[in-house]
Amino acid sequence: MPDSAQTRPHVAVCLHCGSRVPEGTASREFCCAGCEVVHGLLVTQGLTRYYQLTGGKTAPAAEPARGRGLAWLEPLVARAEAMPGALCSLELDVQGIHCAACVWLMNELFRRQPGGAGLTVDPALGKARMQWKRGAFDVGGFLRMVEGFGYLFGPSRKRPSPASLDLPIRLGICVALSMNVMLFSVSFYVGLAPEDGDVFQLFTRLSLGLSTLVVAVGGWPFFRSAWQGLRRGVPHLDLPIALGILLVFGTSLVQARGGRGDLAYFDTLNTFVTLMLVGRWLQQRVLERNRRFLLEDDGADGLFVRRQEGERLATVRVSQVAEGDLLVIAPGDLVPVEAELLDASARVSTDWMTGEPDEREVAVGEALPAGAFNAGREAVRAKARQSFQDSPLVALLRRAPEGTGRGAGHTRFWEAVSRRWVVTVLAVSALGLVLWWPSGPDKALEVAVALLVVTCPCAIGIATPLAYEWVQARLRREGFFIRSTDLLDRLPRVRQVLFDKTGTLTLGRMELVDRASLDALTEEARDVAFNLASRSNHPVSRCLSDSLSRMGARFVPEARVTEHPGQGLEWVRHGVSWRLGRADWHLVRASSSPTFVGHGHGAAQFEAGLGDSDTLRAGYTPRLEMGSEQAPSAVPFEAGLGATAPLRAGYTPRLEVPSQASATLPGSNNRTPVLPRADGTDGPRGTVLFRDGSPLASFPVREALRPDARREVLALQAEGHAVWLISGDAPARVRELAVSIGVPLERALGGLRPEDKAWAVSRLGATDSLYLGDGVNDSLAFERALCAGTPAIDRPVMPGKSDFFLVGEGLSSLREALRLSRHLRHVVRRLLVLAIGYNAVAVAVCLAGWMTPLRAAVAMPATSLATVLFTLWSLSAPRAPRGASVPLARPTEVPA
Look up residue 261 and give its amino acid. G
Q: Are residues 387 and 532 in contact, defined by beta-carbon separation less than 8 angstroms?
A: no
- Write the DSSP symbol of residue 316: E
Backbone angles phi, psi at 580, to 5 degrees: -130, 120
662-666 CB contacts, 8 Å cutoff, 24+ apart: 665/517, 665/695, 665/697, 665/698, 666/694, 666/695
Look up residue 71 and give its amino acid. A
**Distance from chain centroid for Cα 225:** 29
Name which of 99, 478, 490, 126 is nearest 288 in CA terms. 126
Q: Are residues 71 and 328 in contact, defined by beta-carbon separation less than 8 angstroms?
A: no
Name which of 51, 65, 133 is nearest 95 in CA terms. 65
Q: Are residues 414 and 774 in contact, defined by beta-carbon separation less than 8 angstroms?
A: no
| Residue 445: partners with Cβ closer than 8 Å, 6 or more residues away | 251, 254, 433
Quick one: pLDDT at residue 96?
A: 86
Which of 254-263, 513-522, 788-797, 816-825 has the lowest average pLDDT? 254-263
Which of 81-90, 215-224, 269-278, 590-599 has the lowest average pLDDT? 590-599
pLDDT in tens, 148-186: 888 889 888 887 777 777 888 999 999 999 999 888 888
Q: Are residues 352 and 374 in contact, defined by beta-carbon separation less than 8 angstroms?
A: no
Helices (H) and strands (E) in the chain, counts: 27, 30
Query: What mean pLDDT comes out for the span 231-235?
Result: 73
Query: What is the DSSP secondary-structure string of 372-440?
Result: -EE-SSS-EEEEESS-GGGSTHHHHHSPPPTTTT---HHHHHHHHHHHHHHHHHHHHHHHHHHHHGGG-
**Distance from chain centroid for Cα 426:** 45
Quick one: pLDDT at residue 821?
A: 93
pLDDT in tens, 325-341: 999 988 878 888 999 99
Q: Are residues 791 and 814 in contact, defined by beta-carbon separation less than 8 angstroms?
A: no
CA angle centred on 65, ends 537 and 707, rounded to 5°: 90
pTM reported for the whole predicted model: 0.72
> 684 pLDDT band (50/70/90 cuts)?
low
Query: What mean pLDDT comes out for the span 712-733?
Result: 91
The share of the chain scoring above pLDDT 70, in percent, equals: 79
Sheet strands (E) in 760-895: 769-772, 787-790, 804-806
Separation CA 203–CA 211 (nearest Å): 12
Q: Kindly tell me if the per-residue pLDDT of 59 is higher than 90.
A: no
Separation CA 765–CA 405 (nearest Å): 10
Give the C-alpha distances (Å, rounded to integers) separating 720 from 158, 490, 715, 761. Answer: 40, 17, 9, 18
Give the C-alpha distances (Å, rounded to integers) separating 155 from 18, 75, 296, 301, 620. Answer: 31, 10, 9, 11, 42
Query: What mean pLDDT comes out for the span 821-836?
Result: 88
Q: What share of the chain is helix, strand, coil (3-state, %, to 5)?
A: 45, 15, 40
pLDDT in tens, 641-670: 433 333 333 333 332 333 333 333 333 333
Characterise 355 by phi-psi region: left (phi > 0), alpha (psi -120 to 50), beta (else).
left
Consecutive H or E run containing 119: strand 116-122
Q: Between residues 265 and 526, which one has the greater pLDDT?
A: 526
Name which of 597, 608, 640 is nearest 763 in CA terms. 640
Query: What mean pLDDT comes out for the span 689-708?
Result: 87
Quick one: pLDDT at residue 621?
A: 35
Q: Are residues 194 and 203 in contact, defined by beta-carbon separation less than 8 angstroms?
A: no
Q: Kindly tell me if the per-residue pLDDT of 637 is higher than 60.
A: no
Name which of 382, 380, 341, 381 is nearest 363 in CA terms. 341
pLDDT in tens, 743-761: 999 999 988 888 889 899 9
Quick one: pLDDT at residue 409?
A: 53
Name which of 873, 774, 47 is nearest 357 in CA terms. 774
Separation CA 400–CA 736 (nearest Å): 34
722 by DSSP, 3-state: which?
strand
Q: Are residues 741 and 705 in contact, defined by beta-carbon separation less than 8 angstroms?
A: yes
Backbone angles phi, psi at 650, to 5 degrees: 115, -5
Separation CA 866–CA 839 (nearest Å): 13
Separation CA 192–CA 211 (nearest Å): 19
Which of 82-96, 384-398, 777-791 has the lowest average pLDDT? 384-398
pLDDT in tens, 562-578: 877 667 888 888 888 99
Mean pLDDT computed over every residue of the chain: 77
Q: Between residues 24 and 439, which one has the greater pLDDT?
A: 439
Name which of 353, 471, 335, 486 is nearest 409 in CA terms. 486
Buried/exposed 647-672: b ≥16 CB within 10 Å, e otherwise: beeebbebeeeeeeeebebebbeeeb
3-state DSSP of 65-93: CCCCCCCCHHHHHHHHHHCCCCEEEEEEE
Q: Between residues 75 and 635, which one has the greater pLDDT?
A: 75
pLDDT in tens, 62-118: 777 766 778 788 889 988 998 888 899 999 999 888 788 889 999 999 999 999 999
Give the C-alpha distances (Å, rounded to integers) separating 217 from 283, 339, 432. Answer: 19, 57, 31
pLDDT in tens, 474-483: 888 888 999 8
Most confident of the ranges 363-377, 415-429, 450-464: 363-377
Q: Are residues 335 and 372 in contact, defined by beta-carbon separation less than 8 angstroms?
A: yes
334 by DSSP, 3-state: which?
strand
Helix axes 162-189, 198-231, angle to 10 degrees: 150
Separation CA 754–CA 759 (nearest Å): 9
Q: Kindly tell me if the per-residue pLDDT of 410 is higher than 70.
A: no
Count the Cβ atoms, other than its own, within 10 Å of residue 633: 8
Q: Are residues 650 and 753 in contact, defined by beta-carbon separation less than 8 angstroms?
A: yes
**Distance from chain centroid for Cα 655:** 36
Separation CA 498–CA 485 (nearest Å): 22
Go through the chain and tell me how many residues it has.
896
Give the C-alpha distances (Å, rounded to integers) separating 690 from 540, 583, 587. Answer: 16, 9, 13
First and final CA of the chain: distance in angstroms?
Answer: 36
877 by DSSP, 3-state: which?
coil
Buried/exposed 188-206: b ≥16 CB within 10 Å, e otherwise: beeebeeeeeeebeebbeb
| Residue 699: partners with Cβ closer than 8 Å, 6 or more residues away | 512, 517, 518, 540, 544, 686, 687, 688, 689
Separation CA 768–CA 720 (nearest Å): 13
Name which of 27, 155, 24 is nearest 15 in CA terms. 27
Which of 297-311, 507-521, 694-708 has the lowest average pLDDT? 297-311
Greatest alpha-carbon span in the chain:
115
CA angle centred on 510, ends 809 and 807, rounded to 5°: 15
Q: Characterize the bridge pairing of strands 787-790 and 769-772.
A: parallel
